[in-house]
Structure 1
Amino acid sequence: MPMHTATTAAPTTATTPPAGRPWWRLTWADLSLIPLVAGVVLFVRAYAAGAPLWGDEQMIARNIRDRGFLDLGGALDYNQSAPLGWLWAQHAVTTILGTDEYALRLLPLLAALGTLVLAWLIGRRWLGPVGAVVLVSFVATSAAAIRYAAEVKQYSGDLFWTMLLLGATMLLLERARPTVRQYVLWWSLAALACLFSMGAMLATPVFAAVLVGAAWLRSGWRSALRAALPFLVWLAVFVVHYLVSLRYVVGSEYMATFWGGRGYPPPGASLGETVTWSLGRLRLLAGDPLGLVPPDQGSRYLAAVTRVFWLLAGLGCLAAARRSRPFGALLAGVVLFAYVLAFAEVVPLYMRMAIWILPAVWVAVGFAADAGAELAVAAARGARRTWRGALALAGGAAAVVLVFALLGPLAVARTGPLPAGDFDERATVRWLAAEHRPGDVTLVLSLSRHAVGWYADHELQPRREPVAAPPPPGTACAGRDLRAIVDGFQRVLVYGALKDGQPATTGAQVRADLAGMGTVVADRSQGSKWLAMVVELRPAGEWAPVTGCYR
């Protein structure tokens, strides 16, 4: 039996624009332009804030600034990773526009805005007014989308390219008999996405499997072969990308250690523990990257929201399958494949490493909202006096109310004031650089070395990174005396974040030892978390003995 496509499965309604209607003509689904505009405001607002770069941004930005196009291949410094195409694009932008925060974050902002536009296009083509508004609203109020629209990271690109490839796949699935040229174009788009987005690369096997499977069911193995052969275009790009860049990420011990314990199942887990872990992922994903928990809401709220949201996502996959079976497989397949990758310990199912599943999940919830609205309208029109009609009306209305109950707190939370940073590293490092003069040495705690390396790389030289390394009881210090580190200098500039663990110990020890060697002449430290001061040293003969042992 031939498979029905999205264009033949249902008569023309407000959900599906009539054949022959120009794409630029407004439909009721274009009510989603309202949340689209709101999303643009939220994304641009976060970008315009111009916040200082934080640690991860500083590390990837140093790679972009300090390397050429060819050098961006290979293993990046500071345990960073990003698709080669994204790195090249970022390097090109900074070469033209400079390396301030606005230039570095321009591409992430454009990718976030592009994701909004793609959500609107998908909504107006395949969803009705309610579904389209829900889909675009989720993108517009997404904590991940807003955050990464204003960060020097590739994750807004993951949302954009995955959403683009999802829409292109749905478009191709609509066609009764796609041509070889259309399949070649699709695989070429997937290859381009592979260069710019790890997330799109992970989603490509799911999209390709559904395309080839639909072709097989529709017209037999020859049609499936026609859909699969252009895979060679994608494979060629992937192999080059892997050899030049990706193999250093896949084989990274740091990535396996840092993310593996957070995003992979517990080693040696029993069946019950594995099931518990799998269900627990849904709650973690609801918190991050889905960001379904507004500020000041506790774990009980998160637990309730998680159940509602993933129930709606599952129902949305069924609603999409009712419209077109490949659509349902497409949306559900992304989430299931994410679990497969986590169980295989290839890609962690955790935080931003799972951001690539969001477009499929958002579209699924849009289908669920649309189905609920259509059910309610049909029941209200044709079966008002029957108990089945009343039940259908109540169920459809409940689905719509649940979706908007989720969206309401999110919209309010995202439109509130931007959270203030704990400390302005940009201003403080530049203040320290202005204080620097010949004869000074800079001591930087390790957690802040990238802030100094980014904002004042040349100005704060020479510099050292002392780490307190107390010897075991009863043994002599095998490290260096702080006096040997600062001997020959007139002043010491000290900067660094004081967090839990050894860096905090180092900061306290440095402060205590320098107090016996000189006088603080300038201080912009902040509480017990940040150290920023200038110490003028006394003659070496007047130094008190130091108690710290450093390496």
Structure 2
Amino acid sequence: MPYWPVAGALVAVGAGLRVWHWAYGRGLWGDELYVAHNLRERGFVDLLYPLAYSQSAPPGWLWLERFALAVSGPGEQSLRLVPLLFGLALLPLVAYLGYRLLPKVAALAALLLVAVSPFLISYSNQVKQYSAEAFWVTLLVGVGILVHRSAHRLRYLVFWGAATAGATMSALAIPVSAVLATILVVGLVVDRAAGAARWREMARFAVPAPLWLGVVAAVYVWNLRPTRNDTALRDYWLRKQVYPYRDLTDLPATFDWLHSTYKSLAVVPFALWAPALFLVLLVVGAVVCWRRSGWLTVAMLLTPLAIGLGAGALGQYPMTERLALYCVPSCLLLSAFAVSPPTGQIVLGWSRLTAGAALVGVVLVPQVVTDIRAAADPQRAYKQGGGANLADYRGALRYLSEQWREGDLVLATPVSWNGQSYYGPPADGYVRLAEAGACPGETASGLLSGRSRVWVFQATDWDEDDNAEINARLGQGGALSERSFVGARVVRVDLTDGAAAGAGLCLVSPPRSAAVR
């Protein structure tokens, strides 16, 4: 079977799926909007400081995004160009690594699974760094394996150069680089054939490391440490019960956490209908890889997954959903060893090949089905969690802009500010329910006084109970009507009694950048 023509066709399919969603230009949803606000409000230097709104992204990736915004403006396709390019670059990278590491059939199986992976496609089209994480981690794993196999005199410089560049573009590239370097050193130590020369090899390997250490120290101080100290983020992940809920010495609780974690990873980001397949493919692939390529290759391909699980067990990294996307390509490369052509007994070998192909087929079918549905309706593509990532505030805000007339009052709820202030029109104020019947500052009554028509923009992916109560209280002062959109609602109130409508509603200061009219 000719490898590169088939691989080229698979790369084209994967690229086409990614470009299709990018060209569609879905509206920015909540997390994307938080990043977009930071990019629009800050220059290159300011992006080195901790981001607002409990967001975090590598400085190099932020600079690329800021450059795209400066060149092409704050539109959806401009902001998603960098994630798209990393998503596209991953495809030929996997094709090359598969060619170097795997038999042809297995390499094509890995490339196929990466090409049609629903969440690799999805996050190649979101203003988040996860496609860059997947690319850089996969690149580093591949470079580590190839450096071990190579005798080129510049191989160590290549490894540390890739690790240094990756540290600026991917937070996960830092621990992955450290573990890969440790594995390479262990490989030199246990390599008896190297003899006394192995110590010279270790010295040569260590010479470029200080540059990487310097960049990592700077990234940690300016970028990673503030994120680790963000209490809002930590509380959020604790509420989602991502970390072990008891001490690791409680073995039943620890096994329960591992079981729930692997099941959640099988669904997102691996997109498997049967979670057991995730473990079966990984174990079978690891066994075959060990026999064909040795322990070091297995260790390096498992490094991203092991780091995520270890950091999750220690409560340091939320190994879940999109934050685990970085380990998908390396795990798929390892799993592809399950369909390696037979090398031993003919009957046993072909039985293994057939079983492995069946497993890959079972994995492939639901992913292709998901891709077809997503391509047919990109707006509803790849729903996660409660579906917040499906929201498109543009329709609601466009409608509000068209209906607004001079003298109308525009209000928004605090959780709606990111969409409202990014797409407009400007709000006259932000309102929330009074706590214990009182407002710490100004009430909404004064702002409503003398108005005949009020508009309220509400994001409906959060705080729907509060939204309903706000609408009920506004309706006390006049006739209320609602119009729903994808992830948003526009409420119109024709006031007859502004004081009654404002009862129990507080005016609150908008977040930074959400200036009122």
Q: CA deviation at 1:436?
A: 3.4
Q: CA deviation at 1:344?
A: 2.0
Q: CA deviation at 1:544?
A: 4.4
Q: Name whichever of 530-539 and 126-135 sits farther off.
A: 530-539
TM-score of the pair, normalised by structure 1: 0.82
Matched residue type, 2:409: V
Matched residue type, 2:477: M
User: What CA distance in whole angstroms lies between the structure 2 residues aligned with 1:441 and 1:225?
Assistant: 70
Which residue number corresponds to residue 432 of structure 1? 400
Q: CA deviation at 1:234?
A: 0.7
Contact 2:342–2:349, Cα closer than 8 Å, also in 1 = no
Which residue number corresponds to residue 326 of structure 1? 296
Q: CA deviation at 1:56?
A: 0.5
- Equivalent residues in 2 for 1:532-547 (5 A)? 532-538=490-496, 544=500
User: What CA distance in whole angstroms lies between the structure 2 residues aligned with 1:86 and 1:158?
Assistant: 10
- Equivalent residues in 2 for 1:249-328 (5 A)? 249-261=227-239, 262-268=241-247, 270-293=250-273, 302=274, 306-322=275-291, 323-328=293-298
- Equivalent residues in 2 for 1:387-426 (5 A)? 390-416=347-373, 417-418=376-377, 420-421=379-380, 424-426=392-394
Cα distance per residue 1:433-473 (max 9 Å; x no partner) = 343344333211222210011111xx414222x111352xx
SS at match of 2:172: helix
Decide which of 362, 386, 391 is 2:332's aligned counterpart: 362
Q: CA deviation at 1:148?
A: 0.5
Q: CA deviation at 1:55?
A: 0.5
Which residue number corresponds to residue 469 of structure 1? 434
Quick check: which has more Rg, 1 or 2?
1
Decide which of 344, 362, 370 is 2:314's aligned counterpart: 344
Over 3 Å counting, the alpha-carbon distance change for 1:544 and 1:234 in structure 2 is: closer
1:223 equivalent in alignment to 2:201: yes
Which residue number corresponds to residue 122 of structure 1? 97
Q: Name whichever of 336-345 and 79-88 sits farther off.
A: 336-345
SS at match of 1:341: helix
Decide which of 51, 68, 81 is 1:93's aligned counterpart: 68
User: What CA distance in whole angstroms lies between the structure 1 residues aligned with 2:58 and 2:176?
Assistant: 15
User: What CA distance in whole angstroms lies between the structure 2 residues aligned with 1:81 and 1:66?
Assistant: 15
Decide which of 150, 156, 159 is 1:183's aligned counterpart: 156
SS at match of 1:494: strand
Contact 1:507–1:531, Cα closer than 8 Å, also in 2 = no
Cα distance per residue 1:296-344 (max 9 Å; x no partner) = xxxxxx2xxx223322212222322332332122123332232221222
Cα distance per residue 1:118-149 (max 9 Å; x no partner) = 11111122222211111111111212111101
Decide which of 241, 256, 281 is 2:219's aligned counterpart: 241
1:487 equivalent in alignment to 2:439: no
1:205 equivalent in alignment to 2:178: yes
User: What CA distance in whole angstroms lies between the structure 2 residues aligned with 1:47 and 1:137?
Assistant: 20
Which residue number corresponds to residue 517 of structure 1? 477
Cα distance per residue 1:136-193 (max 9 Å; x no partner) = 1111121211110111110011111111112211221111x453x4312321211111
Gaps of 5+ in 2: 381-389, 508-517
Q: Name whichever of 34-43 and 146-155 sits farther off.
A: 34-43
User: What CA distance in whole angstroms lies between the structure 1 residues aligned with 2:354 and 2:262?
Assistant: 25
Which residue number corresponds to residue 514 of structure 2? none
SS at match of 1:131: helix
Cα distance per residue 1:173-231 (max 9 Å; x no partner) = 111x453x431232121111110111222311221112222223333333223212321
Decide which of 524, 531, 549 is 2:489's aligned counterpart: 531
Decide which of 28, 33, 46 is 2:3's aligned counterpart: 28
CA RMSD across the alignment: 2.5
SS at match of 1:397: helix
SS at match of 1:524: strand
Which residue number corresponds to residue 385 of structure 1? none
Contact 2:83–2:128, Cα closer than 8 Å, also in 1 = yes
User: What CA distance in whole angstroms lies between the structure 2 residues aligned with 1:423 and 1:247?
Assistant: 31
Cα distance per residue 1:26-46 (max 9 Å; x no partner) = x43652333222211211111
Which residue number corresponds to residue 48 of structure 2? 73
Contact 1:290–1:358, Cα closer than 8 Å, also in 2 = yes
User: What CA distance in whole angstroms lies between the structure 1 residues aligned with 2:475 and 2:14?
Assistant: 52
Which residue number corresponds to residue 298 of structure 1? none
Over 3 Å counting, the alpha-carbon distance change for 1:545 and 1:424 in structure 2 is: closer
1:161 equivalent in alignment to 2:127: no
Matched residue type, 2:268: D
Over 3 Å counting, the alpha-carbon distance change for 1:28 and 1:510 in structure 2 is: closer
Over 3 Å counting, the alpha-carbon distance change for 1:354 and 1:69 in structure 2 is: same
- Which has the bigger relative contact order, CA under 8 A and spacing at least 6? 2
User: What CA distance in whole angstroms lies between the structure 2 residues aligned with 1:168 and 1:288?
Assistant: 27
Q: Name whichever of 329-338 and 143-152 sits farther off.
A: 329-338
Matched residue type, 1:327: T
Q: Percent identity?
A: 28
Cα distance per residue 1:83-136 (max 9 Å; x no partner) = 011111100111001111110101111111111111111112222221111111
Cα distance per residue 1:244-287 (max 9 Å; x no partner) = 22221121112211124532111236112212211322111111
User: What CA distance in whole angstroms lies between the structure 2 residues aligned with 1:153 and 1:42?
Assistant: 18
Cα distance per residue 1:51-100 (max 9 Å; x no partner) = 11111011100101111111112221111110011111100111001111
User: What CA distance in whole angstroms lies between the structure 2 residues aligned with 1:57 and 1:379?
Assistant: 53
User: What CA distance in whole angstroms lies between the structure 1 residues aligned with 2:439 and 2:186?
Assistant: 67
User: What CA distance in whole angstroms lies between the structure 1 residues aligned with 2:129 and 2:438?
Assistant: 48
User: What CA distance in whole angstroms lies between the structure 1 residues aligned with 2:21 and 2:349?
Assistant: 42
